[in-house]
């Protein structure tokens, strides 16, 4: 289970807060206000990066003055209690009731530390209408700092990597639980999903999700129990993917399991998928353009798949950077297959964690995929997924 020893240290958080304050000062602002969407909606990354925690089911706001302690406005007493514990020695938390109360408390707290501004903002476009309108009326001079704050997170440290490794271990245990259920006579797809997610939560995951496809030639994947079919057929294979957060740090692993002897087509496809991954891994050398990764990966997919990306019955993004967001914002554009190639984008840097998961459709097999986490080291990259790579035979 999670423990205080697994958390980002207060010293590291204070170091990050100091770096954010430097960005605010350079922009000529008196304070910074950050909006954090619920983590369950894929948000809260910048707030969590700076203060070490963000709620899974409600929005929050972080006010960082030029001097003095950070203030978090969080929804209701329970979330505020957790923030209060996590912010000990760093800042304080105050509860809000609803959107109107959040808007009032946000404006009052900002006015106390920034006067009439200007103030810097992050994720202002994600604020609810009530809060955004109140902020704009009270502080007409606002300076967006989304880009610089996201770029700040490109500098990563070993303590962050350790949390990704812990999440990867949980992910591997979830896959084992899913395969155990898949191999059991009379088990259902619901058993597979429930038992895997249960194991992830037992091991301390903040969030532990499993998507699966159970079919002979799966056409798509499913995330909800209500989507799953009633039984596993004698020739079905299992394709699955985990998405895990541990102390906010993401891990993901995609695997395929088959009952009995796999077909020659499936064996050949698995070999090619792993070759694509390994070729992509070779691009992750510190100082190289991060965008080379997606170019190499997409070229491999195009060579193996009879469909284009646009015409493929089911294809999703082939890689993304992991952090305290499922897709780290500073890397998202560079790893988009349809990116603007006139923009250079970030360079590969040590301690980046990248999920590499080629996926596409083959007429004889349906949707195929594999996914592993790559860690950038001082002179290259290595796989850090805790589950053995390759096809799983049951």
What is the pLDDT at residue 4?
A: 54
The helix/strand/coil state of 254 is strand
Give the separation between CA 55 and CA 75, rounded to whole angstroms. Answer: 9
Task: Output the pTM of the full model.
Answer: 0.95
Q: Could you tell me the sign of the dihedral formed by the alpha carbons of 120, 125, 128, 134, in that order?
A: positive
Distance CA 29, CA 118 (A): 5
Please report where in the chains the tokens 């983590």 appear, as a residue: 39
Q: Is 130 exposed, middle or buried (0-12, 13-18, 19+ CB in 10 A)?
A: middle
Q: What is the DSSP letter of 347?
A: B
Phi, psi torsion values for 17, nearest 5 degrees: -60, -40
Q: Which residue has the tokens 């993304």?
A: 320
Pairing of strands 119-122, 31-36: parallel
pLDDT at 100: 97
| Of 126, 230, 128, 243, residue with least CA distance to 175 | 243
Which tokens go with 326? 């499922």
Q: Do residues 383 and 281 touch, judged by C-beta distance below 8 A?
A: yes
List all residues 6 or more positions away from 388 whose beta carbon is below 8 Å from its beta carbon: none
Count Cβ atoms within 10 A of the Cβ of residue 75 and give its class: 0-12 exposed, 13-18 middle, 19 or more buried: buried
pLDDT mean values, one per 10 residues, the chain (394 residues): 74 96 96 87 81 90 94 96 92 96 97 91 94 96 97 96 97 98 96 98 96 95 94 95 96 96 96 98 98 97 96 95 95 95 95 98 97 97 97 95
Q: Which domains, and CATH codes, for the chain?
A: 4-152 (3.40.350.10), 158-393 (3.90.230.10)
Enter the tokens of residue 21.
């304050």
CA atoms of 187 and 93, how far apart (whole Å): 46
Q: What is the pLDDT of residue 3?
A: 58
229 Cβ neighbours under 8 A, 6+ residues apart: 189, 214, 215
The three-class DSSP label of residue 185 is: coil
Distance CA 25, CA 144 (A): 13
HSE value, Cβ hemisphere, 13 Å, CA-based, for 222 = 18
């Amino acid at each position: 289970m999670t423990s205080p020893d697994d958390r980002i240290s207060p010293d590291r958080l204070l170091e990050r807060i100091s770096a954010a304050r430097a960005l605010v000062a350079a922009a000529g602002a008196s304070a910074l206000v950050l909006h954090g969407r619920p983590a369950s909606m894929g948000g809260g990354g910048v707030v969590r990066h700076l203060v070490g925690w963000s709620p899974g089911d409600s929005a929050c706001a972080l006010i960082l003055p030029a001097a003095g302690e950070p203030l978090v406005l969080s929804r209701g007493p329970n979330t505020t209690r957790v923030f209060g514990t996590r912010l000990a020695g760093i800042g304080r938390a105050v509860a809000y009731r609803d959107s109107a109360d959040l808007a009032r408390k946000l404006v009052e707290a900002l006015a106390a530390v920034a006067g009439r501004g200007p103030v810097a903002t992050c994720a202002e476009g994600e604020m609810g209408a009530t809060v955004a309108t109140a902020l704009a009326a009270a502080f007409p001079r606002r300076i967006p700092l989304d880009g610089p704050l996201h770029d700040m997170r490109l500098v990563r440290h070993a303590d962050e990597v350790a949390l990704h490794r812990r999440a990867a271990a949980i992910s591997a245990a979830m896959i084992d639980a899913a395969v155990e259920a898949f191999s059991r006579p009379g088990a259902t797809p619901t058993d597979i999903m429930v038992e895997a997610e249960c194991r992830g939560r037992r091991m301390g995951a903040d969030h532990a999700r499993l998507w699966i496809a159970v079919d002979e030639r799966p056409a798509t994947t499913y995330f909800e129990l209500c989507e799953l079919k009633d039984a596993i057929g004698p020739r079905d294979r299992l394709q699955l993917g985990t998405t895990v957060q541990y102390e906010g740090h993401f891990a993901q692993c995609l695997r395929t399991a088959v009952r009995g002897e796999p077909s020659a087509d499936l064996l050949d496809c698995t070999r090619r998928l792993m070759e694509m991954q390994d070729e992509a891994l070779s691009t992750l050398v510190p100082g190289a353009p991060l965008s080379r990764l997606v170019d190499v990966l997409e070229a491999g997919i195009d060579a193996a798949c009879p469909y284009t990306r646009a015409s493929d019955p089911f294809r999703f993004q082939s890689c993304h950077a992991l952090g305290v967001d499922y897709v780290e914002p500073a890397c998202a554009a560079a790893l988009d297959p349809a990116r603007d190639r006139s923009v250079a984008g970030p360079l590969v840097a040590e301690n980046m964690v990248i999920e590499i998961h080629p996926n596409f459709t083959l007429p004889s097999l349906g949707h195929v995929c594999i996914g592993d986490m790559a860690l950038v080291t001082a002179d290259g990259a290595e796989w850090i997924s805790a589950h053995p790579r390759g096809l799983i035979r049951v």
